[in-house]
Structure 1
Amino acid sequence: MVSLFLTDEELGKKDDDHKPAKLPLRPGHLWSPALRPTRKTVKRSIFGLLLCICVYLFVKNIPTDVPIRDHRRPVYEHDGSGTERRKPGVPLAKPAPAPKAHGQKTDPSLVQHGYNGPLQFLNLASSLYAITNTKGGYLANRNVLFAASSLKSAAGLLPLACSMGAELRSYVHFALMSRSEIELEELRRINGVDDTCHIIFHDARPDHSSASTDARLSTGTSRALEHIYRYMHPQALIVDGSSTEERPFLDGLRTKASSLEIPLIELPEHAPSQVAWISKLDSASLAAWNKASVDILVHAPPSGSGSLIRLLRSLSRADFTASAVPHLTIELPYDIDMPTAKFLQSFKWPPAQVHNPTHANQLSLRHRIPREGLTEEESSVRLLESFWPAVARDSHVLVLSPQAEVSPQFFHYLRYTLLEYKYSNAAVLQQWEKRLLGISLHLPATLLNASEPFRPPTKLDAENHVMESGKTAVDGPTSFLWQAPNSDAMLLFGQKWAELHGFVSRLLEYQHKSPPTQPFLSQKLVSKKYPAWLEHALQLCRARGYWTLYPSEAVATDLATIHNELYQAPEEFEAEFEPDPAEWSELVLTSRRLLEQLPDGGSLPPFKDLPLLAWDGKVTNLATLDTESREYTVTFREAIGGCEGLKPADLTPKLTAADLFCSKENAGAALN
């Protein structure tokens, strides 16, 4: 090699010594020596040929299974979370065929799920960079994420995502984390997704997903969700939680969603068709999906078993799809008749048809000790001590009369209206939800005095019945807000329950110390047909300006009915109550799905479009209601609370109702 390129001077000199001497030529004699290649030329040619052969062999045998490294996208090696880190030079545990990039079809029969290499998300960055206008960098935004691995699950979720996107209340995203090599455009076309759906798609599949091991796919799902979270901060994550979905996908998603504190909504089998109303909710309502809990409270009558058994059977037939089954508490009297005792021995809660993998018992039976009948005070105390909200904002209770019967769809309506009117962006920002005592499932036929008939309002009774176009809204039945609470079938919010608890405890303490003939307390506005606690609830509503949401007459027929043929008066009024001979007819419940029951395609009207009624059933407006509330509060504080000379501007409501009770010497302290 050294002589080939003449890099040594000494070698060059020795070559000159071997050259033949130049001899003079004779005139006329022409001689030309034969040309032949020099030794240097031969060596160079041989070396060049060998070099070309080496280059050719390298190019021909270059590895094709090494992916191109893109430094804009993260690359991960597996750790102890489910896969082993592969050391350099160590072959794969299972040899797999060379995987192909997305878009290249692979024969499924030749695919082995043995690839366990580093993770790359080659198609995720571009879609995440493009969603800056959704304000995904903020923890609070309007982003909702659907995710799927199984194409069958994707086909079930996409219509729901399309309906939600068409509502334009949230930014709807769909992430595919599948083994399938299907193109996103083909997935859209097959499932009928067009631009009217307003869905933002994300290809969150790792490289070589079709050949990946289960552990790699699970880790890839977890890693992909972590990247999506950084750019999107979804308020809720919706997946198919049934056996149709890939188990590695669900395992990775559950683990990461829990660590990132993303609300995970797992829809059971066939749920998209049963909970289609979920598409009407906004991102804030969906974020509260797992936080909002409901307990059911039933006070059994002192005698007779028919009405209680009918109620419990209707609860067992109810559909609790896509939500936790409520805890059920039954308050029993001292004497339990034999049919009731026998029925409760075989009664199971949750019902047998409800998926309950942990076999948890959600039933509590409470048996009263005193043999004698309850007084008004004892009845109110007994009810309010039956439940206490663990988290005041999110723990709620449904109080059901023994005479009630609920429809199979009642809990869908309850969840839908609870999430919309308690947790939605509109309800929270406008603070209307602070005035809402609860949600009634039953539409009464009379006023609270049980003697005057009640006429439900219509759309024209709403204060804002004139639309933006200047035209008057079309008249018809509608849900409405009424200052009068209900004891037959009503959900009470946890915060309001805690406030009612404090109000009654202080009121009873005052009654023990005050003269028995206090004029203010002698006014009874609620009929003895209803339990005693309802009178206290009405007093709190009048003092605070609270109201209850009632369904329209058309919707009420699909929620609950109150039976009168087995009616029993409340135990505290049993001796003095005389049944009204003019009993109203009962509603016949239907079994239509929720969106079929509700008007306007299932969309719930905003608070401002709902008629507002005073406690006596008269149509009013917000300004009048507030004025009457302030006047009632001043009167109550002076007559009951021991506070005198207070102005409405001096009132500072407290969640325990302590501001309504004070004495002359500490009136100022109650305001602090």
Structure 2
Amino acid sequence: MGFFARDDDGLVKKDDDHRTGKVPPNRATWSAATRGPRSKTLKRLAIAFGVGIFIYLFIQNLPTDVPIRDRRHPTYHSLETQPITATRPGPATKLKPYRKPERPKETKPDSPKTPTAPHDYDGPIMFRKLAHTLQAISSTHGSSPINKNVLFAAASLKSASLLLPMACDMGIEARSYVHFALMGGSDIDIKALRSVNGVDESCQIIFHDARPDYAATSTTSRLGLASSRALYHINNYMHPQTILIDVSGEEEDFFLGSIRKQAPKSGIPIIELPENAHSRLGWITKLDSSSLAAWDKISVDILIHASPGTSGSLTRLLKSLSAADFSAGATPHLTIELPHDVDAGTTEFLKGFHWPPTRALNPTHTRQLTLRHRIPITRLSEEESSVRFLESFWPANPQYSHILVLSPQTQLSRSFFHYLKYVLLEYAYSTTSLIQEWDSRLLGFSLDLPTTSLNASQPFTPPTSTKYTKKKTSGEDSPFLWQSPNSNAMLYLGSKWIELHTLVSKTLELQHTANPPFFSEKEVSKRYPAWLEHALRLTRVRGYWTLYPSKSIASTLATVHNELYRAPEEYERELEKDLITADDKDEVAIGSSSRPILQQTLPPFDEMPLLLWNGNPTDLYNLDAFAADYAFDFRRAVGGCEALATEDLVPRKDIGDLFCVKE
């Protein structure tokens, strides 16, 4: 810069020394024009050179794998459209799929050209199709907590295919309004679901699409929450008396967890159907909504009173219990009353005996076996035996807690529990039984069909029913009602057990004080335990009856092995030399199942033959008359009611009104 300055100064000096006095025009202007452009040109050249280098470097480093972008609309790439290879991990493998939360794209799994949609949508839940069907069922009286609605529900299409045949059978029976709710993430159309499973109008099933919006692309947690919310809304409109779900292993875990959590909150009983439920539990389709509502409320205890020397019989009975199918409900609690002298065979067997059986459903792994070993060495008297036996059980809830009494001589079939659950639900909890109050007369259900009367003096021949046999092809077989209780294999209702307990308590007290001659008459043979005499008095004084199976059905439920018969401990000395003749029978092989009775609709009580305690046929009118006469005699002879008028001697409330309190 200094060099150019000196040169310029010299040039200017020479011009001034030789001027002639006249200045050339625009000298100053020219001078500025010739000096300024040289400096600016150099700066511009430098800038241009730098820009050129930048452009060159930019072009050399441009990415070559960026596709041409159409800027008219925004473009979004999902995970499925990104090239992912094992040899080129990079940003593409870490991209998260983009999805607009307000409108995720659903895919159709039946289209081979459509990629599988990710299950990542977790937006608000809406049921776009459920409200329409729920609002259309007002005629089923779903607004009332007590109605005839029964709900089948599934999230898995495989579970739906298992449930729909049972739902169809129940709908055809027309004893309930049958509903089917499809939940979960399937995008199958309801019409297609019906078509694939052969469900037509004859099935009488009301379908509900209880899937949330965007179900096919929802997260598992969203589907689980949607199942809970759907059941909540369904309950508000339908109030189902029970919900039936599949637990064979085909159902979605999120669905099972949600239903098991929400159903108790909504007060809906759950019936969990195991594997092969249609063949094993098909009989539940013949029950009405009232019976099914009691499904998970019922509890059954088993009581076995073992006499001395019954090791072989007890072992056989326990083995048959272990082999039984308890898929019809919770495994019963088992109580075994052992005598003072327990033989080595029984002791050794009980060491390895597990209850419930290891294959039975027992989520809590609770041991439900109680062994009671008597302390007194002396033999029990009639009174002691009765008291000890009746004290072995007390129903926590008389309406739903029941007791199955088994003799060590009994052997049970594999499906005996299914039969008991079937008849118990139908005759103790169905709408028909409750309205007609048949349940108030029911003492219990026998699995055994005796071959003699209670006094063992004459053989017993089961009756036939003209009304019932008209509906059957066999012509003569029929269940029947009998005033006679049973000690071999019988389920006693909890409410009646309490009455029996009260009756024994009061009569034993009177026997100690007054010992009325009324008790000197013994109607039950000493071949049966002493407590059975008290049970017979209860049935006679109250007009109760026991439901006995037909001969063909009884042979598939239980067999009493009299070849190993041992008399009750309280009567053993009296019967040591007594030979069994009247009730002697060979061992009969038990059928593998009670399928015949489980495949047919149970007849109502008024279509069954009715027998008095002694085996004589009767009708309801005469049964009541005999009960009133017996109650009259009992209250005067035993209850201390001599001063009461005849019209006041009819039992009205409970068993306590048979006894009058003396001032």
TM-score, normalised relative to structure 2:
0.82
Matched with 1:11 is: none
Residue 384 of structure 1 aligns with which residue?
Answer: 390
Aligned partner of 1:619 among 586, 593, 617: 617
Which residue in 2 is equivalent to 1:196? 202
* 2:604 is aligned with 1:598: no
Match of 1:258, SS?
helix
Partner of 2:584: 584
Report the alpha carbon displacement of residue 588 of structure 1 after superposing the two structures with TM: 2.6
CA shift, 1:258, in A, is: 1.1
Deviations for 1:544-580, whole angstroms, at most 9, x for unmatched residues?
Answer: 0000000000100100010011100000000112233
Q: Which residue of structure 1 aligns with residue 496 of structure 2?
A: 496
Aligned twin of 1:255: 261
Larger radius of gyration: 2
Aligned to 2:561: 563
> C-alpha offsets along residues 310-368 of structure 1, whole Å, 9 cap, x if unaligned?
00000000001141000000001111111100000000001122132321101000011
- Which residue is 2:290 aligned to? 284
CA distance in 1, matches of 2:483, 2:555: 22
Once the 2 structures are TM-superposed, how far is the Cα of residue 585 of structure 1 from its aligned partner? 2.0
**Correspondence 1:442 to 2:440:** no
Tell whether the 8 Å contact from 1:484 to 1:547 is kept in structure 2 after alignment: yes
Partner Cα distance (2:588, 2:200) in 1: 42
List per-residue Cα deviations over 1:576-627 (Å, max 9, x = no partner): 1223334432463444544x3228x411001111111000101100000001
The AA in structure 2 aligned to 1:487 is: S
Task: Provide closer, same or farther for how the CA distance between residues 478 and 96 of structure 1 changes in structure 2, counting only shifts above 3 A.
Answer: farther
Following superposition, the deviation at residue 269 of structure 1 comes to 2.1
Q: Report the Cα distance in structure 1 between the residues aligned to 2:540 and 2:71, rounded to whole angstroms.
A: 89
What amino acid sits opposite 1:204 in the alignment?
A
Range moving further from structure 2, 353-362 or 437-446 = 353-362
CA distance in 2, matches of 1:217, 1:197: 28
The equivalent of 1:532 in structure 2 is 530
* Match for residue 336 of structure 2 among 315, 320, 330: 330
The equivalent of 1:340 in structure 2 is 346
Counterpart code for 1:304: T
TM-aligned CA deviation for residue 302 of structure 1: 1.3
Distance 1:290 1:439 in 2: 19
Relative to structure 1, the CA distance from residue 129 to residue 521 in structure 2 (aligned partners, 3 Å threshold; closer, same or farther) is same
The answer to whether the 8 A contact 2:443-2:496 is kept is: yes
Unaligned runs of 5+ in 2: 1-69, 79-94
What is the Cα deviation at residue 178 of structure 1?
2.4
Task: Report the alpha carbon displacement of residue 646 of structure 1 after superposing the two structures with TM.
Answer: 3.1
Q: Which residue of 1 aligns with 2:220?
A: 214
Distance 1:95 1:654 in 2: 75
State the distance in 1 between where 2:552 and 2:584 align: 17
The Cα RMSD (Å) is 2.5
Q: Per the alignment, in what secondary structure is the counterpart of residue 405 of structure 1?
A: strand
1:119-151 CA deviation, whole Å, 9 max, x = no partner?
A: 011111111111111111111100000000111
Show CA shifts across 1:48-96 (max 9, x none). xxxxxxxxx9996699x9xxxxxxxxxxxxxxxxxxxxxxxxxx99745
Alignment partner for residue 425 of structure 2, among 419, 429, 432?
419
Between the aligned partners of 2:177 and 2:296, the Cα distance in structure 1 is 20
Identity of aligned residues (%): 54
CA distance in 2, matches of 1:562, 1:298: 14
Q: Does residue 610 of the first structure (1) align with residue 627 of the second (2)?
A: no
SS state of the match for residue 562, structure 2?
coil
* Residue number in structure 2 paired with 1:87: none
1:246 paired residue among 229, 242, 252: 252
For the residue of structure 2 that corresponds to 1:602, the secondary structure is coil
- Kindly indicate whether the alpha-carbon contact (under 8 Å) linking 1:162 and 1:198 is maintained by their aligned counterparts in 2: yes
Q: Deviations over 1:190-221 (max 9, x none)?
A: 11111111000000000111111111001000
Shift of the 409–59 alpha-carbon distance from structure 1 to 2, 3 Å rule, reads: farther
| Separation (CA, whole Å) in 2 of partners of 1:269 and 1:154 | 13
Q: Structure 1 pair 95/466, CA: closer, same or farther in 2 (3 Å)?
A: same
Q: 1:651/1:583 Cα in 2 relative to 1: closer, same or farther (>3 Å)? A: closer
Q: For the residues of structure 2 that align with 1:563 and 1:348, how far apart are their CA atoms? A: 24
Deviation at 1:233, TM superposition (A): 0.4
Q: Which runs of 5+ in 1 are unaligned?
A: 1-56, 66-91, 667-672
